[in-house]
Amino acid sequence: MVGGEEQVPGARSGFGIQEPQEQLSGVRVAGDREEFMRHLDHGLEVFREAHRMSVTTATKFAEIIDDPSDLGVRYKLNVYMIDGTDIVEQTMQNIDNIHHGKPYLNPVPLEKVFNRWPRLQRARM
C-alpha cells in the first residue's frame, strides 16, 4: 500500500497502467492476426445472416397480415429491422475492409433509420 491505496501488481506507480510484458494470464497477446481475421470474417457473416433473416421474417409477415392495422407493424419491421440490420452489416463491412486493406470509406445510410434534427433558430421578437 502506498499512501493508503493498494497497488495493482505490475502497475506503474500513480498511473494504473500495466506494463505489456506483465500481462495477466488469459489475456490475448497481439500478434495472432490470422485468428483475428477469421473471427472478424465470421462476425461479418453472422451480420449478413441476421440481415437475411430479417428480410425473410418481414416477407413472411407480409404474407400473413390480413388487417390494415398490421401495416404499421410492417412499416416498423421494414425500417428498423431490415434497414437497421443492413446499416449494421454495411458498418461491419467497412470495419472488415479496414483490416483487409480494402477501401473502407463506403457511406452508410444512417438516415434510413435515424432522422436528422431540424436546425434550430432563435425566435424573433
Chain mean pLDDT for the chain: 79
Angle at the Cα of 44 from the Cα atoms of 42 and 48, rounded to 5 degrees: 115
**pLDDT at residue 12 in the model:** 45
Q: Can you tell me the distance from the alpha carbon of 35 to that of 66, in angstroms, rounded to the nearest whole number?
A: 49
Q: Is 88 within 8 Å of 113 (Cβ atoms)?
A: no
DSSP H helices in 1-125:
33-64, 71-76, 84-100
The total number of structural domains in the chain stands at: 1
Residue 99 lies in a domain: yes
Whole-structure pTM value: 0.63
Residue 71 lies in a domain: yes
| 38 phi and psi angles, rounded to 5 deg | -65, -45
Residue 17 lies in a domain: no
Residue 1 lies in a domain: no
Residue 10 lies in a domain: no
Mean per-residue pLDDT for 86-114? Answer: 91
Q: 3-state DSSP helix/strand/coil percent for the chain, to nearest 5?
A: 55, 5, 40
**pLDDT at residue 31 in the model:** 62
Residue 46 lies in a domain: yes
**pLDDT at residue 122 in the model:** 82
- Please give the residue range of the domain that contains residue 52: 31-104
Residue 4 lies in a domain: no
Residue 58 lies in a domain: yes
Which pLDDT tens digit goes with each residue over 12-53?
444 444 444 444 455 556 668 888 889 999 999 999 999 999
- Residue 112: pLDDT over 90: no
- Residue 10: pLDDT over 70: no
